[in-house]
Structures are given as C-alpha cells and as structure tokens.
Amino acid sequence: MLRPSFLSLLLACAVSLSSSAVFLENGMPMLWAQTAGQLTDLPTQNGILTPDPWNFLHRMSLYRLMIAATDPLMGSMGTNATDSPLWGLPLQLGWMLTSGRLADPTSATTCGLQTGDTMCISTQSWWSCVTYFVSVLPFLSAAKQGFMGEGVQVLMQIPEGVQDYCTTYASCAASYPDAMSKWDAFFQGLKAEADSPLPENEKKDSLLGLFWAAQMASTYASAACNSRQSHYSSTEVSFAKSWVNSAEYAFCCTFQSNLQNLQCSYPSPNRILRVDDSAPNIADLSSEENHTLYVFSWMNSMNNVLGGTLVSLWKSAMCSVNTREKGSKLLEQLLLNPSFATQTFLSIITGMTLSC
C-alpha cells in the first residue's frame, strides 16, 4: 500500500505535468520516436560518423544511442527501462525546445522559430551551448570507450563560420580535459560494475557519483557559453544561473535523474522569462512553475547571502549513502511541494550535517 506522503507526491506530479510546459510525448522526451534508433541512421562521411548537433533530432539521437548502449550495464539503477540517470538529459533538452530556449535569441535568423526551421538549434543560444557540453562531450567519450562499436570515429558537424565548439574527442579533450576525463571515468565505471562485489545500493551510489561528477565538469566547462547570456533579459539570466546552481545540490546527493524522477521533480517555465517577470506571481505561468522559479531563486540568493555556505552545508550533509538517499527525497519535497517551507529545508540539512 502506498504511504500517504508518497501518494500525495504522485498526485502533485500528475497535476504539475498537466499544467506546465509540455516536454513529454507518449511518456517519452519530445520527438523521441523520430530520433535515430541505431548508429546507421545518422550520416557518415568517409567511414566517419558525422551527426549534426545543431539539429534537434540529431542531438536527441545522441542521447537515445547512449542510453541504448549503456542500459545493459545499468542494472543497479532499478528494474525499469527508464531508470538510467542519462534520461534526465533528453528530458531537459525537450523542455528547452518547447519553451523556445534553443531558438536564436538575437533574432538575426529564424533558427528554431515557428517561422523558420523548428528543428534548428541556434549556436547563439546560451541554453543550447550549455547542453552541447552534456550531449556532444559524453557521446564522444562513449564512442571513445567503445560503446558505439569497435573503432567508431565521430566528427560533429558545425555551421560555417562557427569556431568556438569542439567537434572531435581529441579537440574536446584538449579544450576541456577535466570534463572529458570524467565522462571517460563514468563509462569505464559502467564496464567495471559487472565485476564489482559492492551491494547494489552502493554500486548505484558509486555510478551516480561518477555520472554527476562528469555532468558537473561539463557544466563548469560550459562557462565558455557565458557571453551568450547577453542575449536574454536579466530575469532569464538570473533563472539560468539558479538552474545551474541547482545542479550542485543534485550532484552532492547523487540524485537519480531518471525519467520518472526528473519529470516529477520540478515543473520548468514554459517560456523565456521577461524582465518584468517576478515569481511567484507570473500570471501566465502555472503555480507549479512559479514555485520552481521561487525556490531556485531562494536557493541561489540564500547561498550568496551566506557566502557560499548553503552549498557547503549541503555537501557536508551528504556524507554517506544513507544521507544522500535522504537528500534526494528532501530536494524533491522542496521543489515539488509548495507547503514545504524553505526554513524547514535549512533546519533539516543542519541536523544532517551534525550527524555526519
């Protein structure tokens, strides 16, 4: 029998999904059925795989191929086909498409707009730039580690005149060595799990730790995208910074960003924010979206007020497999349940820190 608190979270999740941005299609990330189901569905040239990450379907295909290739080694994550932490990445990409965040924010082109190529991902979008680091870099690493087949070489396409994106494993490793080495460690860790004597919950925690370490290294590397924030309102930039900051909390508690957990964790704003938007009172956004924006802003501003000690306190509290499991549930409550007070969050993590 479901416990009342868990049942209420499920009901809240159902409500939030019905009232917020549409980023699922038949229970899967947007346009999933139209993506490449096998490597041969993507273009090749002279025996080299040449995906176009500036086409939405191609970039989403990178995720589909990575998930399919790694799923046989994800047994510790659970029994469902969507338990891999990699599922969180295509889900967020789908949200960015439907909310207009992958389109050209400069209005210099019609890339990503309804009046142009709706599958176009703009090289000028801060959001598309940031997700380049958590789509292209892990795919190149997965290919290097043999997950796409023996000896598969990959060269990412790039629009003419654009030069500030790496396109091969070698060029990305040279430009962003920490991110690439951590993605390599994650994929190598997946291979090693089969022979690991650890209990399943510890295997899971270890792999999630490797996954989040790689994702955060990509996030730090994506500071190269920061100049593109000038194309957005100060409100959208503030949200973007809060969105990045929230990953620190997920990283520390090794949050399992599978399909179910991430789609239920927070309803994201269904459009780019304007300068006069002020959560939690944005009229054309749902109450759930307003709550997400408010909590993200509170977490970021509180951390700034405390000189970075909120993140430090959270990191200190996530000192064991047990506290990291509790931390994941605590994050879900904070982001999904409007009645869960922010001060309660502070008092709980303070208590958890003292128990470490």
DSSP labels, 240-301: HHHHHHHHHHHHHTT----HHHHHHH-PPPSSPPPTT--TT--TTS-HHHHHHHHHHHHHHH
Report the pLDDT averaged over residues 48-64.
98
User: For the chain, what percent of residues have pLDDT higher than 70?
Assistant: 90
Each domain of the chain, given as residue ranges in start order, spans: 24-228, 232-356
Question: How confident is the model at residue 341, as a pLDDT?
Answer: 64
Place of tokens 């868990």: 6
Instruction: Return the higher-pLDDT residue of 53 and 29.
Output: 53
What is the residue whose two structure tokens read 């190269």? 224
Q: Percentage of the chain with pLDDT > 90? A: 56
CA-nearest of 341, 333, 236, 334 to 282 is 236
Quickly state the pLDDT bin for 21 (edges 50, 70, 90).
low
- Over range 148-165, report the average pLDDT: 94
DSSP letter at 55 equals B
Average pLDDT, the chain: 87
pLDDT of residue 102: 98
Q: Once rounded to an integer, what is the mean pLDDT over residues 307-326?
A: 85
The pair phi, psi for residue 237, each rounded to 5°, is: -65, -40
Q: What is the DSSP string of 8-21?
A: HHHHHHHHHHHHS-
DSSP codes joined into one string, 306-323: TTTHHHHHHHHH--SHHH
72 torsion bin: left (phi>0), alpha (psi -120 to 50), beta (else): alpha
